[in-house]
Amino acid sequence: MNPEKKQRYYERVEEKVKELPWYVGEYIDKKRRKLSSASLLNYCHDYNIFFDWLLAEGYFKGSRKEVSLDVLEKLTVQQMEDFLSFLEFKLENSPLTINRKLSALKSLFHYLQNIAETSELEPYITRNVVAKIELNDVKEDPETIANRMEGKMLRGDEYEQFRQFVAHEYGLVNKDNKKLSNFHKKNRERDTAIISLILGSGLRLSEITGLDLDDIDWHKNTVRVIRKGNKEQYVYISDQAALDLKEYLTIRKETYGINKSNKALFVATTMGPKGTSRRLTDRSIEKIVEKYAAAFGKPSLSVHKLRHSFATRYHLENNNVPKLRRQLGHSSIQTTMIYTHLTNDEMHKAVNKADN
């Protein structure tokens, strides 16, 4: 994550912390060295939901940030089960999402009971009800996950068809809509470069938005990214992605009115008479992909699904899980193994064709 984006996340964390009890702010502060700014923001969001639920249920009379430690200490197992039911049936959270929010609470309560100390060297709380609540038993084998992902990705000829659609056909389809047509004409090189880069590298969304001009090594066709855990890595990109990036860079400065100080690779269209160019955000790129995906007839496509599409094709063509793991930046080889199941059907078809 680039420093500018990281700073924005930390500023949002600071805003959220001000809305939460003092001990939550203390806990978040202690976690800054170990968790990314994005993870801290997710924690704050999860805690907001929990404390708002406490107030809505009448377990505390006052504001969210005034909820005292003794309120947490007196919560019963049944009340916590009620909270999980609220997440499942009212907020319609999936078992995996519920587990994530429960894990955030477990981490907070563990800190309050076992790490934090008062001036008298006593723990903040002596009773930890969340420790008695078990996570949902969500066990999916790689093949099950692969089957769920299948059909939501690009396969076979669709890789190049989608790229061509973004580069050319979207404008033709919308030629009678002046606004859409003009917007596509202005941004097609940039949007094609974004799609081509994801399909030709498998980079994460945050890695795409964090790219600067200086991060590209044109001689080796690699880009420098900061992966999870703030690890620097040089990731290969396809020849087609490199070509599309070069085409975008020929129009970048003039089209987007960029000054020399702006090193962001992908920038947004300027707004207003005195508008200045700025780095595209995660959400901006998500919306770009969603727009083209819907028009292409595959609305389930997303940045993450394009990453899956790259990984599936890579494994099918190279059958090298360790290299794919490094390319995707996975910390666990088990995560990468999902793609071996995704390509089983295509490999079976290839074997059958060999008999013909």
- Catalytic positions are 204, 228, 304, 307, 330, 339
Alpha carbon distances (Å) from 31 to 6, 14, 27: 15, 13, 6
Helices (H), 37-152: 37-56, 69-73, 77-85, 95-110, 142-149
Token pair of 98 as six digits? 């519920």
Would you tell me the crossing angle of helices 282-296 and 303-318 to the nearest 10 degrees?
A: 70
Helices (H), 258-302: 282-296
301 vs 293: CA distance, rounded Å: 6
Sequence-distant (≥ 6) Cβ neighbours of residue 77 within 8 angstroms: 129, 132, 133
* Long-range CB contacts for residues 283-288, cutoff 8 Å, separation at least 24: 285/194, 285/205, 285/208, 285/209, 286/205, 288/191, 288/194
According to DSSP, the β-strands at 231-236 and 216-217 are: unpaired
**Closest of 214, 239, 205 to residue 328, by C-alpha:** 205
285 vs 230: CA distance, rounded Å: 22
- Sign of the torsion formed by the C-alpha atoms of 77, 100, 325 and 293: positive
Is the separation of the CB atoms in 134 and 155 below 8 Å?
Answer: no
68 vs 214: CA distance, rounded Å: 49
